[in-house]
């Protein structure tokens, strides 16, 4: 395959439209949380983002907008883009109800990057996080699109689940490809689509608690996840003319994205007892010369 596979993107769009409604049904009154000045960014991304007050920040694959509004809470002029109709509708409603201003666009990220570059848009920071990269069918054009929108001296920041962790099955054995290793994008098909990982994490955090919202969510739409290793990601930005200034690997996660993970005393998700330390998240900062 050459270039993004928009057919698979559209199939993922259908899966995300249903999953997003289930996810947000569990999260309670978010508008009140934001009206009170709350934000949902973790220390890892705050550190890599740096001071964003007054900066124009583009949040790609923003999902339902909670982190985009969190960027705005920290003083950014925030713009969020996501392929899911229900996610962007939720984000716009949450922005209106909370009074936290951000701009949201429903689009395939590849189309939006191309159109924004044609309009001459520029951003101080472009940001992606937590489960973003696996939905990308073409890293090279993604990185080039981002590089075209970053102002000289600006930067791209990503904090995401490590490819090592994404190669693990629910029993922590190796099952899925770590990378496409320079070949055409390799992907995994999930016949049950995007699941209700929010309910799963809530159950792992407190097994005896009643989970509010949608019960026993089943997604009728299959989904498609792409395998990209660290070399794929770093090389994409180097080849796009960006300069890599930070690379971090973390032996914990801010999300219980694999069954069996445990919360440690610092509130971080770690592997089950008896397993060695593994990189469960990574962070990258790439700057435009």
Q: How confident is the model over 225-252, as a mean pLDDT?
A: 97
> Which long-range contacts (C-beta less than 8 Å, at least 24 apart) are formed by 269-277?
271/172, 272/172, 275/172, 277/251
Q: Assign 25 a pLDDT band (cuts: 50, 70, 90).
A: confident
Q: Assign 71 a pLDDT band (cuts: 50, 70, 90).
A: very high
Region label for 136, one of left (φ > 0), alpha (ψ between -120 and 50) or beta (otherwise): beta
Model confidence pLDDT, tens digit, residues 138-178 = 999 999 999 999 999 999 999 999 999 999 999 999 999 99
Q: How confident is the model over 64-92, as a mean pLDDT?
A: 97
Domain 6-287, CATH 3.40.50.150 — does that match?
Answer: yes
For residues 108 and 6, give the distance between their C-alpha atoms in angstroms, rounded to a whole number: 8
What does pTM read for this prediction? 0.94
State residue 266's pLDDT score. Answer: 92
Model confidence pLDDT, tens digit, residues 83-92 = 999 999 999 9
- pLDDT over 70 at 1, yes or no: no
């Amino acid at each position: 395959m050459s270039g993004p596979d928009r057919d698979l993107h559209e199939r993922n769009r259908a899966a995300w439209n249903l999953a997003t409604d289930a996810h947000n049904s569990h999260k309670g009154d978010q508008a009140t949380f934001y009206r009170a000045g709350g934000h949902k960014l973790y220390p890892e991304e705050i550190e890599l983002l740096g001071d964003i007050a007054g900066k124009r920040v583009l949040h790609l694959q923003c999902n339902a907008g909670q982190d985009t509004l969190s960027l705005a809470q920290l003083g950014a002029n925030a713009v969020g883009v996501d392929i899911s109709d229900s996610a962007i509708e939720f984000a716009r409603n949450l922005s209106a109800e909370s009074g936290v201003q951000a701009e949201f666009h429903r689009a395939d990220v590849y189309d939006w990057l191309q159109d924004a570059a044609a309009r001459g848009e520029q951003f101080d920071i472009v940001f992606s996080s937590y489960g973003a990269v696996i939905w990308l069918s073409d890293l090279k054009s993604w990185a080039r699109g981002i590089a075209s929108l970053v102002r000289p001296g600006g930067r791209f920041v990503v904090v995401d689940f490590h490819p090592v962790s994404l190669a693990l099955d629910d029993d922590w054995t190796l099952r899925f490809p770590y990378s496409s290793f320079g070949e055409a994008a390799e992907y995994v098909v999930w016949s049950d689509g995007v699941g209700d990982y929010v309910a799963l994490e809530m159950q792992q955090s407190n097994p005896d608690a009643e989970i509010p919202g949608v019960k026993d969510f089943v997604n009728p739409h299959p989904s498609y996840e792409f395998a990209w290793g660290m070399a794929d990601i770093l090389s994409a930005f180097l080849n796009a003319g960006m300069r890599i200034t930070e690379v971090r690997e973390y032996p914990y996660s801010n999300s219980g994205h694999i069954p069996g993970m445990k919360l440690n005393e610092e509130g971080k998700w770690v592997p089950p007892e008896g397993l060695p330390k593994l990189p469960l998240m990574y962070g990258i900062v790439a700057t435009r010369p």
